[in-house]
């Protein structure tokens, strides 16, 4: 059965009530879930698991407090439900997902959705938590009030799902064309009337109110404490960066050793010639240079997943709102910016949940300055090659401290950019901050491991396809055309890459970048971490005799310290990831702003690298 013949069932509900967790459980997909309101910002469709039903297709929608949208993610839900996005994506049946532990807050939305006239059923999610809190809900009474099946479920524990599917099947077979709705924003009196109606319903349907857990209140007294709160936040972030460097370095060294050995083994067992050069210099040096950073990237992702899953991220948003507000951002900018440590692209999409457009625009423009995981390989390689691992203050290594400084520099320049936008009145001012703080939850270890496996797979797939291909091409342009007979300089200087590098080099020479680094920066625009691979390939092609040494040793021999520091400064600012700007353009729909963001970052990168190179030159 093709997708268009299936019956589309929409999942709707408040932010953070567990729609995406339910969607994942019902479809077998692994869409991102976190304990933070507003993680899903786009509709996602997938078929229900085969073993349950073959004629139902589910669509997960961004959470919303009402059908009257306040932000672009909520507008997606509004447009899909009312058919403004086209008939094909309008669901015929709805599952209204409610948090069973707080029906008073969630039920008015169910009443509002009911008025759309679509057949629906209600899933009381987190019923396990409601049960353990001693809350008793009269399911039959709710069914009578709403005239629909009401099913207690737990999406994370996968309880009650087959009953839910059975109910859905029954509704779906009777569903027809969705009725046309003339929607108008609800008036004040309508909102109040619904709330009153809910009080009546609850009087009949709540048999025992139960005792909500005190855990969240207790934890908040620490995490939101005026003094302890910010201290905990700073220490947490510092520990994450230390962990990335110190913990990550150990497996990284093992993988590095393996890559070098594998390169030597390959070289020894293949007849000398172009083919061996391609495999060793292009593929193994290039791809190997990137995959050694897998452990560090996984540590970073693990930390971010734990922050998001526990419910702490919303607290960080609260603690940071004042600082963010000073520079025209909002507490809601914290989640996109922190997830920018992973990758700017989902971070820019995540900014959709910011209600106020000027705040959202500013967040999107500054997010590329947050140190994303693709910069990690570049920093790590440069630090390992040029920064001695001296102890600082007895406990921290100098290398870890430099890494932290680079992360702080990224975040600080994001703030500075936002402040600049605000002071030049380039984006509007004002704006607000309104965020529900979720209940704390113990992060699920299986979910964490599954998330890390997914990321490792995505990272390796990318290294094995896209980066591999770029490396092969780079090897080709560094090898051809071949040098003339009797050439006295290294072969690479006669190649296309050599000519390209010498052409670009004058612009980058004031930064202390030589032509080889200039060549390597070019594929870096496709993906930042490719710089490391590209250097691996360029240096391997240049120096075929000395295959045994590590890239870091070759760089140490070839570059001065000011050059290395200048490259670090360049990487803090440089708009090296074109995909980020493609997404930026799509989100803000303005070439003007996108080009503005790109040029500001490019200029900042050049200036910062120039100043660093000159200053470091004075001292050394």
> Least Å distance between CB 455 and other proteins?
5
- Indicate the residue among 148 and 232 with the shorter CB distance to other proteins: 232
Q: Is the Cβ–Cβ distance between 529 and 377 less than 8 Å?
A: yes
If one asks whether residue 428 binds other proteins (CB under 8 A), the answer comes out as: no
Query: Who contacts 70 (Cβ-Cβ below 8 Å, separation ≥6)?
Result: 355
If one asks whether residue 524 binds other proteins (CB under 8 A), the answer comes out as: no
Q: Name residues contacting other proteins, limited to 429-488 (CB under 8 A).
A: 432-437, 454-455, 457-460, 462-463, 465-466, 468-473, 476
Beta bridge partners of 44: 60
- Cα–Cα separations (whole angstroms), residue 357 to 70, 330, 340: 10, 11, 19
Among 1, 177, 180, 227, binds other proteins (CB under 8 A): 227
Letters for 87-126 (x = contact with other proteins by CB under 8 A, - = none) are --------------xx-xx--xx-----------------
- Indicate the residue among 229 and 501 with the shorter CB distance to other proteins: 229
Among 127, 156, 355, 612, binds other proteins (CB under 8 A): 355
Among 165, 321, 410, 572, binds other proteins (CB under 8 A): 321
- Cα–Cα separations (whole angstroms), residue 522 to 459, 516, 527, 532: 21, 10, 10, 12
Residues in binding contact with other proteins, number by CB under 8 A: 99
- Indicate the residue among 119 and 229 with the shorter CB distance to other proteins: 229
> Least Å distance between CB 211 and other proteins?
13
Beta-carbon count within 10 A of 144 CB = 14
If one asks whether residue 343 binds other proteins (CB under 8 A), the answer comes out as: yes
Considering only CA atoms, which of 548, 563, 458, 590 is closest in space to residue 509?
A: 563
CA atoms within 13 A on the CB side of 574: 24
If one asks whether residue 312 binds other proteins (CB under 8 A), the answer comes out as: no
If one asks whether residue 220 binds other proteins (CB under 8 A), the answer comes out as: yes
Q: Name residues contacting other proteins, limited to 361-380 (CB under 8 A).
A: 372-374
> Least Å distance between CB 301 and other proteins?
7
Query: Who contacts 610 (Cβ-Cβ below 8 Å, separation ≥6)?
Result: 510, 511, 566
- Indicate the residue among 390 and 482 with the shorter CB distance to other proteins: 482
> Least Å distance between CB 587 and other proteins?
6
If one asks whether residue 147 binds other proteins (CB under 8 A), the answer comes out as: no
- Indicate the residue among 164 and 601 with the shorter CB distance to other proteins: 601
Among 11, 583, 608, 609, binds other proteins (CB under 8 A): 583
Is residue 144 within a helix (H) or strand (E), and if so which, with residue range? helix 139-146
Among 251, 346, 483, 617, binds other proteins (CB under 8 A): 346
- Indicate the residue among 186 and 483 with the shorter CB distance to other proteins: 186
If one asks whether residue 522 binds other proteins (CB under 8 A), the answer comes out as: no
- Indicate the residue among 361 and 511 with the shorter CB distance to other proteins: 361
Phi and psi at 46, nearest 5°, equal -160, 155
Sheet holding 7-13, edge to edge: 44-47, 56-60, 7-13, 93-99, 120-125, 150-152
> Least Å distance between CB 262 and other proteins?
18
Among 322, 412, 481, 603, binds other proteins (CB under 8 A): 322
Q: Name residues contacting other proteins, limited to 530-559 (CB under 8 A).
A: none
Q: Name residues contacting other proteins, limited to 28-57 (CB under 8 A).
A: 29-32, 42-44
Helix, strand, or coil here: 101? helix
Spatial distance between the Cα atoms of 176 and 180, rounded to a whole number of angstroms: 12
Query: Who contacts 217 (Cβ-Cβ below 8 Å, separation ≥6)?
Result: none
If one asks whether residue 602 binds other proteins (CB under 8 A), the answer comes out as: no
If one asks whether residue 427 binds other proteins (CB under 8 A), the answer comes out as: no
Lookup result for tokens 């240049």:
542
> Least Å distance between CB 445 and other proteins?
18
Taking contact as CB under 8 A, which single stretch among the options 64-72, 261-269, 413-421, 485-493 is the one that binds other proteins?
A: 64-72
Is residue 207 within a helix (H) or strand (E), and if so which, with residue range? strand 206-208
If one asks whether residue 411 binds other proteins (CB under 8 A), the answer comes out as: no
- DSSP for 20-74? HHHHHHHH-------SSTT---S-EEEEPPTTT-SSEEEEE----SSSS-SSHHH
If one asks whether residue 262 binds other proteins (CB under 8 A), the answer comes out as: no
If one asks whether residue 292 binds other proteins (CB under 8 A), the answer comes out as: no
Farthest-apart Cα atoms in the chain, separation: 95
- Cα–Cα separations (whole angstroms), residue 214 to 32, 125, 217, 219: 28, 20, 5, 9
- Indicate the residue among 283 and 565 with the shorter CB distance to other proteins: 283
């Amino acid at each position: 059965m093709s997708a268009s013949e299936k019956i589309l069932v929409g999942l709707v509900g408040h932010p953070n009530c567990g729609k995406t967790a339910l969607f994942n459980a019902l479809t077998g997909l692994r869409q991102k879930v976190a304990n933070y309101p507003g993680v899903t910002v786009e509709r996602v469709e997938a078929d229900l698991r085969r073993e349950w039903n073959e004629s139902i297709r589910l669509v997960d929608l961004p959470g919303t407090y009402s059908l009257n949208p306040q932000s672009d993610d909520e507008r997606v839900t509004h447009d899909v439900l009312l058919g403004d996005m086209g008939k094909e994506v309008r669901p015929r049946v709805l599952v209204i997902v409610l948090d069973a532990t707080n029906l008073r807050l969630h039920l008015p939305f169910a009443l509002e959705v009911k008025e759309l006239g679509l057949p629906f059923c209600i899933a009381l999610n987190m019923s396990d938590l409601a049960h353990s809190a001693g809350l008793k809900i009269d399911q039959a009474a709710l069914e009578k009030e709403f005239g629909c099946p009401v099913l207690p479920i737990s999406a994370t524990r996968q309880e009650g799902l087959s009953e839910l599917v059975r109910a859905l099947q029954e509704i779906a077979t009777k569903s027809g064309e969705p009725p046309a709705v003339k929607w108008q924003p609800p008036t004040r009196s309508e909102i109040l009337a619904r709330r009153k109606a809910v009080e009546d319903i609850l009087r009949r349907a709540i048999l025992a109110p139960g005792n909500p857990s005190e855990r969240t209140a207790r934890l908040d007294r620490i995490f939101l404490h005026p003094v302890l709160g910010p201290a905990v936040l700073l220490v947490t972030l510092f520990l994450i960066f230390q962990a990335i460097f110190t913990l990550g370095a150990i497996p990284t060294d093992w993988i590095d050793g393996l890559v070098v050995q594998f390169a030597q083994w390959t070289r020894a067992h293949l007849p000398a010639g172009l083919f061996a050069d391609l495999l060793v210099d292009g593929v193994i040096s290039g791809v190997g240079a990137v995959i050694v950073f897998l452990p560090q990237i996984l540590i970073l992702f693990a930390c971010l997943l734990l922050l998001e899953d526990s419910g702490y991220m919303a607290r960080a948003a609260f603690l940071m709102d004042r600082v963010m507000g000073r520079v025209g951002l909002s507490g809601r900018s914290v989640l996109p910016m922190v997830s920018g440590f992973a990758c700017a692209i989902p971070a820019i999409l995540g900014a959709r949940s910011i209600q106020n457009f000027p705040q959202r625009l500013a967040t999107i423009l500054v997010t590329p300055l947050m140190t994303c995981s693709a910069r990690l390989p570049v920093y790590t390689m440069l630090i390992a090659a040029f920064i001695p691992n001296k102890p600082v203050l007895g406990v921290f290594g100098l290398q870890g401290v430099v890494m932290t400084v680079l992360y702080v520099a990224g975040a600080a320049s994001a703030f500075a950019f936002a402040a600049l936008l605000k002071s030049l009145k380039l984006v509007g001012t004002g704006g607000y901050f309104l965020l529900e703080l979720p209940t704390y939850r113990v992060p699920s270890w299986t979910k964490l491991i599954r998330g890390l496996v997914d990321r490792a797979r995505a990272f390796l797939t990318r290294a094995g396809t896209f980066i591999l291909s770029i490396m092969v091409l780079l090897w080709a342009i560094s090898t051809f055309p071949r040098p003339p007979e009797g050439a006295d300089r290294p072969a690479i200087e006669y190649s296309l890459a050599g000519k390209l590098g010498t052409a670009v080099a004058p612009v980058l020479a004031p930064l202390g970048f030589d032509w080889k680094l200039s060549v390597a920066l070019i594929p870096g625009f496709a993906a930042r971490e490719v710089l490391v691979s590209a250097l691996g390939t360029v240096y391997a092609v240049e120096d075929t005799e000395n295959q045994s040494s590590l890239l870091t040793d070759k760089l140490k021999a070839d570059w001065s310290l000011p050059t290395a520091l200048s490259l670090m400064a360049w990487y803090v600012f440089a708009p090296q990831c074109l995909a980020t700007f493609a997404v930026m353009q799509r989100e803000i729909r303005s070439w003007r702003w996108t080009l503005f963001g790109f040029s500001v970052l490019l200029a900042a990168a050049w200036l910062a690298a120039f100043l660093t190179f000159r200053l470091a030159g004075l001292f050394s």
